[in-house]
Structure 1
Amino acid sequence: MMNLVCLHFAGGNKYSYYPFEEHIDKNISLITLELPGRGKRFHEPLLTDVNDIVDDLFEQLKENVSKPYAIFGHSMGAMLTYLLAHKIEKSGFESPVHLFVSGCKAPKINRKPPFYHDMPKEEFINKIRGMGGCPEEILGNDELMALFEPSLRADFKAIETYTYIEQNPLKIPVTVFIGNKDKVTWEEAKAWEEESVHAIDIKEFEGNHFFIFQHKKEITALFKYYLKTKKTIFNNY
């Protein structure tokens, strides 16, 4: 069995990738990690520093993930995937066999203001609405937004205040997913090639920032395609 560790996007939780479950290959097990301030960890303080988030994810990974495994992250989750992979390589813990980074420009490309995390409420909600992916039932409900907004702002702050530090390229293969109507350009996706010693693959899909949910069958088929070979290689050792 190949384990696929899934890191959620800003404002998400461990159930964010539940829609993939019905399409995922039977030989791939989805493992979702829960960040503080949501789900069963709702009463823990939200984290607003990306390094603290990565430290938390690393501890969860060591305790809950068996090998072989790969990591998938969309948007904020893609950046966390990249940083977590570096922490893993430096730690001596066995590395993932593959990384899937989705809906995210390469780490070296600076995020420019205006930043979402400190926008006034109405402007903030309109920006989230424009991204898609968040139901209007939540965005238009003050009580639900009161629960949802703090984690969303905390996640945006963590990513928007992140400062890129050049590191040696990862020794892990990377596949990049982008949407053709998202803000991430092909050139910004191609810049991921500087972060791995392997040649990267870029897969473009029709859709905006949350294109992954329009293409669940295609995305999960790509998981199977890339991880099938890795599982065979792993089992031969």
Structure 2
Amino acid sequence: MKLICIPYAGGSATVYYPWKKLIHSSIKVVPLELSGRGERMGQAFYRSIEGDGTDDLYRCVEKELDGSPIALFGHSMGTLFAYELAHRIVRETGQPLAHLFLSGRGAPHTGRSEPWIHELPDSEFQAEVLRLGGTPAELFEHKELSDIYMPILRSDYRLSETYRDTGKPGKLDCGITVMRGTKDSYGRADAEEWSRYVNGDTRIVEFDGGHFFIHEFRQQVLSAIHESLLYTRSSQI
């Protein structure tokens, strides 16, 4: 079983590196690095999630598509990449996903409850990013770091805020686990709307935290992944 993981806005593949040692030995964690950060620093940012972003991630993951069971995990902006990439994998390989994990964001059609922030002046943009949590204040206090990460964050928030689901030929034939922090800015109803996008079962898992609960409740998040993937695998044997 391979679990392909996609980071949130401003994040990199390193977010998921600790998972490799903590996850069940039968699951291989495959963190994807988005263009323009981490090991791909200096490469061009994506113009859109649904266009060149998904094209690029499919090329990155193609070598992993060897017929073994595939699951996807995405948090926040990463959920949109995971949703688009899931359809691309199914379309190109004909292989249904084993499972889809969507964390920290409501379904695409539910929209955002807050105004766009990617075009705000620097000081206001930084304040909004810090308010969401997950980004250390020191990042903006040191000019060298700020100069590196501000363009990444702005690009990622632009991708997420301007994303449009252009419509898919059908629903995904897999189950999904939707994870949400109870103190996040969107409600449970928006999370439950992900059920419209799949033919399989939808499971909602909530944590007593904010938007970045995946850090505070890492072991519980992994337990939820184990419950879904190990059950899926045992049912396929």
Query: What is the TM-score with the length of structure 2 in the denominator?
Result: 0.92
Between the two proteins, what is the percent identity of the paired residues?
A: 33
Deviations 1:75-123 (A, max 9, x none): 0011111111112222235232000000011011223663121111001
Aligned mates of 1:148, 1:103 — CA distance in 2: 21
Letter of the aligned partner of 1:11 in structure 2? G
1:166 match: 167
1:61 match: 61
- Contact 2:86/2:97 (CA < 8 Å) preserved in 1? yes
Deviations 1:113-137 (A, max 9, x none): 6312111100110011011111122
Deviations 1:133-185 (A, max 9, x none): 11122132222011011111111111211122333221111110000000121
1:217 to 1:112, Cα distance in 2 relative to 1, 3 A = closer
State whether structure 2 residue 179 is matched by structure 1 residue 180.
Answer: no
Structure 2: state its 5+ residue gaps: none
Aligned mates of 1:179, 1:116 — CA distance in 2: 21
Aligned mates of 1:112, 1:228 — CA distance in 2: 35
Specify the SS of the correspondent of 2:204: strand
Return 141-150 or 91-100, whichever deviates more.
91-100
Aligned mates of 2:114, 2:104 — CA distance in 1: 19
Specify the SS of the correspondent of 1:187: helix
1:220 match: 222
Aligned mates of 1:38, 1:48 — CA distance in 2: 15
Structure 1: state its 5+ residue gaps: none
- Contact 2:3/2:28 (CA < 8 Å) preserved in 1? yes
- Contact 1:99/1:174 (CA < 8 Å) preserved in 2? yes
Return 7-16 or 84-93, whichever deviates more.
84-93
Number of residue pairs the alignment of both structures matches: 234
How far apart are 1:22 and its partner, in Å? 4.0
Matches within 5 A, 1:119-138: 119-138=120-139
- Contact 2:174/2:201 (CA < 8 Å) preserved in 1? no
Specify the SS of the correspondent of 2:111: coil
Aligned mates of 1:156, 1:41 — CA distance in 2: 18
1:6 match: 5
Specify the SS of the correspondent of 1:15: helix
**Which structure ranks higher in relative contact order (CA pairs < 8 Å, sequence separation ≥ 6)?**
1
Aligned mates of 1:43, 1:194 — CA distance in 2: 38
- Contact 2:9/2:153 (CA < 8 Å) preserved in 1? yes
Match of 1:232 among 231, 234, 237: 234
Aligned mates of 2:61, 2:20 — CA distance in 1: 20
Matches within 5 A, 1:1-237: 2-50=1-49, 51-66=51-66, 67-111=68-112, 114-167=115-168, 168-234=170-236, 236=237
Aligned mates of 1:147, 1:65 — CA distance in 2: 33
CA RMSD of aligned residues (A): 1.6
- Contact 1:181/1:207 (CA < 8 Å) preserved in 2? yes
Aligned mates of 1:65, 1:213 — CA distance in 2: 28
Aligned mates of 1:112, 1:203 — CA distance in 2: 21
Specify the SS of the correspondent of 1:202: strand
- Contact 2:17/2:31 (CA < 8 Å) preserved in 1? no
